[in-house]
Structures are given as C-alpha cells and as structure tokens.
Structure 1
C-alpha cells in the first residue's frame, strides 16, 4: 500500500482541480469541513475509547478476506477496535455525508463492533440503517452497543452476506439512498455486492467503498466499478472511494486529498 499511497499523494488534487459545481460544494462544505464539533462526536469518541480499553474476548468468524493483523478467531474487543474499525476522521466524514444527503435508507455491509454504524445512524435519526454482519457473536455485541447508546434506527441482519443481502434486496420496496461497502475485501464479492445493490440505487444515491487500495483485488474492483456505465462520478480519497450516479453529471473520476 505504500507505493499506492505515494502515487495517490502525487495525483491528489484539491478544490482547485474540481470542475463540477456539485462536487466543489460537497468537497469544500462536507468532505473537507472538519471544524464542526458536534455533541454526537463527543459521545462517539467516548464510546470509541471504551472499546479501545475493553478486554472482553469474542469469537470472530471471518467470511471475507480476514485480518492482516490477527489470525486467531478469539479476539479482544480492544484489538478489533484498534485494527478493524475506521479511524475517527472517517466516522465524522460518514456522519457529515449522511447529514448532508439525509438518506431515508442506509445500507452497511460489515457491522463489526458497530462504531461506523453509529455514525451513520446518529446522522440520520429519521432514517433506517440496515447493517449486515456475517459473524453471529460480533453482531450480538454490536446490538448490545446500539441498545446501550439508545440508538433505535438500526437493524442488524446476521448471516452470510452472500445469502442475506440478495434476500433483503428482494424483499424491500425501498430505494437504496446510501450504502457503505465494508465486508468482503476481495474482487468478486465486492463487485457482486455492488451489482446486486445497483438496481435499487437512484440518481441521488451515494455508495462508499472501503479500503480501495487494501489489496490488488480491491483496487481491481474499484477500477471496474469506476468504469460501470451507471457510474457518473467517483471520488478517490485513498482509504475510501465515493460513487455517484447523477445522470446530469459528466462522467469524471477525481483523486482528492482528505
């Protein structure tokens, strides 16, 4: 990833390299607006610190590419929080994006301990967050966290995402406004999940893909998603990639600093 990151730094622009009025406003007012210190951020930072000090062990069942750091199935919560959860600045970014677009339906593939889920749910209290987790014990622990923080607009769907996602999409009439893909970090499942969700997206939907340079497979998946004819605008922030479907938008791919 070092070579990829150096290449990213060389290519990445800022607001001066953006030609799209839609993206210029989004980048300057939402993506790069890191000054806002909201009450929810204080609450979630305190919760993050609690996870980072939790010595409870849980049994983790990896159905995806697995962890590069911990190969044991028995893992302490603090280790999962340190190695698997997104850093605070990304939680805040997810919050700002959801608050900006105000999606009614949010999909998250890969719940883990539920920290990113909480940022999504807190930003859209009137929306519904459906989060998918393959590991039963991790899902149970995440549910406890949501209950503890009194967040009630989250539904945890447990089981192999290869099975639960198609079943969910087939059974819901709701359009998919916002989706965060952070489950199986391999090429085929990532592209398949994207293509399964695509018929439920609309002109103003937002898809976020995590760890787009985590491996050669993830980068290959990101490149294929960018080329899809339904995708009109993508934003590469190195650690994550944003995808938009705005038909009024000229097809462009941006690499921007975050």
Structure 2
C-alpha cells in the first residue's frame, strides 16, 4: 500500500476514534484507562530500548531468508542488522503497549508470531518472566541474533522456534494446553494471516487476547481485519490503527471499538 493510502486511512481512523469518555463497556473502559493510556515508566522499557539502540548501530551483514510478505523498504537478501532493526521492529510506543497488556492480563502461554531481531519479543519477555513464551522466526541468521539478544537480557523463558510458520505454528500449538496471548506479526498477507488466526483459535479460551499487527498495512490486511471482527468466535475488538486487539469474552456483548491511541 502506498504511503498516501496509509495516510488517508489514518485520517479516517482519527475521525472515527474516540477517547475514554465515549467508552461504555466496563471492561474496555478499564483496559483503556489502566493499560492503553498508562503513562508510567517501567525499568524494563530502558533495558529493551538500550537493546534497540545497539541493534540500530549494528553493521553486521546477514543473509536473509524472508518467508513472509517482506519488507516494504528492504528488498535485498544481504541486509545489515541496523536496517532490519529500523524497518521491522515495532516502535517503542507499541512495544511498550504489548508490555503493559502482558503485565495486565498475566498470560501463562504466549505466542509471538514473528521474532525478527527479538526487540518486540523482549518486551513480552520482560513483562512476564514466569510465562512460557514461544516466538517464531523463519530466517536462521536473524534467529541467531535474536537468541543473542534474549540471552543478553536474561529471558530464559523465551523459546525461539525456527522454520516456516505455516509448519511450525500448528506443531507448537499441539504442545500447549491453551493459548493465553498471541501477537500476530508473521506474514502480512490475507491468506496466511487468516490461516494463522484460525489455527490459533483452536487453543483460545474465554480470556485469551490476540493482537493483530499492521491491520492497515495493505488491502489484504484490511480485509483480514474486517473478517476477524466478523468471526463468530470474536466478541470484542479494539482498533488502534497500527494494531488491533481481539477478545473472546462471551459474558459481554459483541462490540467493536475504535479508540484514540
């Protein structure tokens, strides 16, 4: 999608989005007030952002195997670590949002569908050191750097699963009793995104939380987000433009929120 189209979508989002006073659901109200708009500081933020700075200065060249939709800015197979860090990692704002979501919901089993260099994964790991965290990466050379980063931060609970997500996701899901939290950032195409979403539904429960990345990244991702909202098992969604939150709480009405963030 062109930057002009993305900008136009963002303007439409800003017109639709509302703030705290417009939220009538107690669950969403509490989530917005205590998680989305929380402006406190956690020491973990500094640790992960120090890692990000190091990655943004890393001149190592990696041979990249790209199994997803690929980067909009990086097309060559040989890439510097610093270029990968600049183009693929979620910004601090959204990494820290994921940290707060994990800190709030306290999930025990977490799937991160798209490791890259592990910066975003590190936010998940820093938020919940008692959890079982499985992160998936298709490129062996990028996975090696991510493992170095997890080791540096002491994130022993993070297990990196290497290989094509289309194969490894279902295999790993069979090894867990239930899926409490999932961050979908593995492939920005419609068909794989919907496949991964439906596969993860087999292990979701009433209080599972799914976070969909880049829901306006392309026409295919917008189509996927629209269908996810309409899925009969999905009860509540929150559109934050760059990410979408998905909940399955059957004790509450089916509602969709577009919140200013």
Report the TM-score range of the alignment, normalised by the length of the smaller protein.
over 0.9
Question: Does 2:240 align with 1:211?
Answer: no
Structure 1 residue aligned with 2:246: 243
Give the ranges of 4+ consecutive aligned residues of structure 1 lying more than 4 Å apart after TM superposition.
none
Structure 2 residue aligned with 1:126: 130
Q: Distance in 1 between matches of 2:173 and 2:35?
A: 29
TM-score (normalised: structure 2): 0.97
Structure 1 residue aligned with 2:235: 232
Residues 62-101 of structure 1: pairs in structure 2 closer than 5 A:
62-101=66-105
Q: Distance in 1 between matches of 2:187 and 2:48?
A: 25
Deviation at 1:28, TM superposition (A): 0.7
Question: Does 2:259 align with 1:253?
Answer: no
Match of 2:204 among 198, 201, 205: 201
Structure 2 residue aligned with 1:28: 33
Q: Distance in 1 between matches of 2:129 and 2:152?
A: 16
Q: Distance in 2 between matches of 1:71 and 1:173?
A: 36
Question: Does 2:38 align with 1:5?
Answer: no
Equivalent pairs counted in the alignment come to 256
Structure 1 residue aligned with 2:106: 102
Structure 1 residue aligned with 2:3: none
Contact persistence 1:121–1:128 (CA under 8 A): no
Structure 2 residue aligned with 1:51: 55
Q: Distance in 2 between matches of 1:187 and 1:176?
A: 22
Q: Distance in 1 between matches of 2:102 and 2:146?
A: 20
TM-score (normalised: structure 1): 0.98
Deviation at 1:173, TM superposition (A): 3.6
Q: Distance in 2 between matches of 1:148 and 1:95?
A: 18
RMSD (Å) for aligned C-alpha atoms: 0.8
Q: Distance in 1 between matches of 2:153 and 2:209?
A: 26
Partner of 1:27: helix, strand, or coil?
A: helix
How far does the alpha carbon of each residue in 1:93-118 deviate from its partner, in whole angstroms, 9 at most, with x for none? 00000000000000010000000111
Deviation at 1:59, TM superposition (A): 1.3
Unmatched segments (≥5 aa) in structure 2: 1-5
